[in-house]
Amino acid sequence: MAAKEDLYSKILPRRLRQNRPGSVKCGSNLDVLLSMGFPRPRALKALVSTGGRSVQAACDWLFSHVDDPFLDDPLPREFVLYLRPSGPLQNQLSHFWQQSRVTCGKNKAHNIFPHITLCQFFMCADHKVEALCEALQATVQQWRGRFPSPLPLELYTSSNFIGLFVEEQVADILKQFAADFATEAARKAEVHVEPHKKQLHVTLAYNFPTNHLPSLEKLAKGIEVKLGCDWLAVLFSRDIRFANHETLRVMYPYMPQNEDELELVPGDFVFMSPVDQSSTSEGWVYGTSLASGLSGLLPENYVSLADESDTWVFHGSHSFFSCGPSDRTSKERGMFDGLLDSRRPDNTSPGDTPTLSLICHPMQQVLRISGSHTRQPKRTLFVCRHGERMDVVFGKHWLSLCSDSKGRYVRSNLNMPPSLPLWGDKRDYDMDAPITVFGSTQARVVGEALLESNTVIDFVYCSPSLRCVQTAQNILKGLQQDGKLKVRIEPGLFEWTKWVSGNSLPAWIPPTDLAAAHFSVDTTYRPLIPVSKLTVSEPYENYMSRSYQVTKDILSDCKNTGNNVLIVAHASSLEACTRQLQGRSPQSAKDFIQVVRKIPYLGFCSCEEQGDTGVWQLVDPPIAPLTHGPNHSFDWRETLLQE
């Protein structure tokens, strides 16, 4: 297949094309895609999945789905035919939709825009979709002048349902239109359409708490059902695989840190089935991306519940009263073109600007306080997570991969360090894993960035974990302070001991042994919280209290001798060492875990003291975030020699 740039170069510029009224025929677009070298099934799938909007939209879809395991699956999409109001009545219904959501929260009716259902969902093969659209256009043309106007609607309410029902005799006329469409669709597209047999209605609200009925009913009575309305016959489709899934909107970006995780891009949608969640960890869900077709695990609080129709594809609308082009005006087309994702997330407005915003870029600090701040000599606390861990990359049995028959260290992968400190002494590497070569590189890059930003570090405090000590050492190398600035090993900075496996804490390498192994550590430093004070499986409250206390003591000890303190510790440290320092109460353990999950290797945050008030505040770090992608293991025999 040609390169992406080559494919785009074959698309005619918009200004050179002849402008034609109405919708763009898939046939002409299909010819262009075929001339580019795309297989016919893929080209048709791309056109149908984008509503036949343009060649460029189809190309973009194909490139984003290049790794989609279902790209060549012949499974057809599901289609549905609705009557959708327009004009003054539509404005009233939209107002009801908005006000009911604000007043009472979301109910099931909000999943789909205001409509009257004319048929059940039905399947249509990709190569028959153009004929299906022609069948709808032909049926509407036959009904021009016969369609009842206005549609008489009557309000009906029950304990958990509110709707506008079409008068029975008129409803029979609409059902005849649906039957005619079914006949035409069978003739032109060879599909089976089952017209709606139940009472025709516009659902206003359903499946809501009983105590919301008075408020919803009051809003519904404010709808003037006799207002003018041009009813449009609209055709939509959805991916049949996700018909019974929940639809989630991606709110924050996320780069996978493990092979089974899903990349998240804001604006994308994720389909999630409760059936697939039985084996997921707390705070994580398993889903499939609409944009890429890939599936994987994702952080639950990076997404929010979306409306079902947000991911539906629009295939055309036709008026029973207008004799103009089959597609509506460009304004109308813009409302429905492709995905229906124009709605705002719940509980947000254009003016919403939270003081505290979560920053979810993969290599960015997790917390940021908005607003500018001066660069005067203030006391600043930097907190940084360690680099990439050996046991995370190569698994918990990584030691067996780098030991020969005589027990000597031999690396079997270029991302394993050439040597490990004190290997011959049989250190507790199972419980105290080192960082990878790439972890060392991450740390040096951060140190170099601090040097480039003219950031001065006066003191470095570090968790006793080897991965943290190695990270601090490499940050100092990047800062060109290796050997000049000594790292103070502080056991009080170790992570929440509940996360330690087994019944004992790791046997950390003592500072004197680290110094003998050429680590730049301060062997004269006396810990504020000695190892003997740490307990296994400590309560969450104890961990937060310990982290806050040791951070305060560190800042107090350094107050008159330096301005900038760097703590190199764990993902949890970015939250635990700064939250109470700002005068904020600890979160619940569950919320704390969700925050920690977002903090990547070398996640970095800055906290400044506001004058001599003792009040600290999170501010923009002096360095940019660090982002990179995964690099999976490669076995050339398995990959290149397979038959």
Which amino acids are annotated catalytic?
A: 385-386, 570
Q: Are 23 and 327 in contact (CB under 8 A)?
A: yes
- The dihedrals phi and psi of 91, each to the nearest 5 degrees, come to -60, -40
Q: Match 């915003």 to its residue by tokens.
A: 357
3-class secondary structure, 637 = helix
Distance of CA 92 to the CA centre of its chain: 33
Q: Which residues pair with 318 in a beta bridge?
A: 233
- The dihedrals phi and psi of 147, each to the nearest 5 degrees, come to -70, 130
Show the tokens assigned to 561. 């001798």
Nearest to 137 by CA among 328, 330, 326, 329: 326
Distance of CA 273 to the CA centre of its chain: 16
| Rounded distance between C-alpha atoms, residue 486 and residue 477, angstroms | 12
Show the tokens assigned to 263. 């990349």
Q: Match 């004070």 to its residue by tokens.
A: 533
| Rounded distance between C-alpha atoms, residue 257 and residue 237, angstroms | 34
- What angle separates helix 540-558 from helix 589-597, to the nearest 10 degrees? 60
| Rounded distance between C-alpha atoms, residue 531 and residue 433, angstroms | 18
How many CB atoms are closer than 10 A to CB 542? 15
DSSP β-ladder status, 564-569 and 487-489: unpaired
Q: Which amino acid is at 532?
A: S
Q: Are 578 and 550 in contact (CB under 8 A)?
A: no
Residues in the chain: 643
Show the tokens assigned to 389. 């861990």
Distance of CA 24 to the CA centre of its chain: 33
Distance of CA 501 to the CA centre of its chain: 30
Q: Which residues pair with 82 in a beta bridge?
A: 117, 234
Strands (E), 504-626: 564-569, 604-609, 616-619
Q: Match 């070398």 to its residue by tokens.
A: 602
| H or E element that contains 542 | helix 540-558
Per-residue DSSP letter, 306: -
Radius of gyration over every alpha carbon of the chain, rounded to an integer in angstroms: 31
Q: Which residues pair with 607 in a beta bridge?
A: 381, 618
Q: Which residues of 399-412 are buried (b: 16+ CB within 10 A; e: fewer)?
A: beebeeeeeebeee
H-type alpha helices, 409-517: 437-452, 466-478, 511-516
Q: Which amino acid is at 115?
A: H
| Rounded distance between C-alpha atoms, residue 91 and residue 112, angstroms | 16
CA 332 → CA 94, 96, 232, 318, 414, distances in Å?
A: 15, 20, 11, 11, 57
Show the tokens assigned to 355. 């003081």
Cα dihedral 289, 292, 293, 298, rounded to 10, equals -30
| Rounded distance between C-alpha atoms, residue 413 and residue 411, angstroms | 6
